[in-house]
């Protein structure tokens, strides 16, 4: 019984689920030439302008994908 609980808790807290928006965000950062900066400093290392550009392109891309389906 105790083994089952610990296995369940490992599954629950083990790996994070990969967010589909995260992969899009990385793709856009790469297109803008910001991926190296993100890898070195993290998302908080970006300026507001850089973050805004990424968010704007992500929004446009998601809207285009929705309209094409």
pLDDT tens for each residue of 1-47: 444 544 454 455 555 667 889 999 999 999 999 999 999 999 999 99
Confidence (pLDDT) at 18: 77
Q: How much is the pTM? A: 0.72
d(CA 43, CA 23): 13
According to DSSP, residue 69 is labeled -
Q: What are phi and psi of 14, to 5 degrees?
A: -65, -100
According to DSSP, residue 64 is labeled H
H-helix segments, 1-69: 2-13, 20-31, 35-41, 48-68
């Amino acid at each position: 019984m105790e083994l089952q609980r610990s296995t369940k808790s490992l599954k629950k807290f083990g790996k994070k689920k990969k967010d589909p928006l995260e992969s899009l965000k990385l793709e856009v950062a790469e297109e803008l030439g910001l991926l190296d900066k993100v890898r070195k400093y993290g998302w908080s290392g970006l300026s507001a302008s850089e973050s805004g550009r990424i968010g704007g392109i992500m929004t446009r891309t998601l809207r285009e994908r929705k309209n094409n389906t």
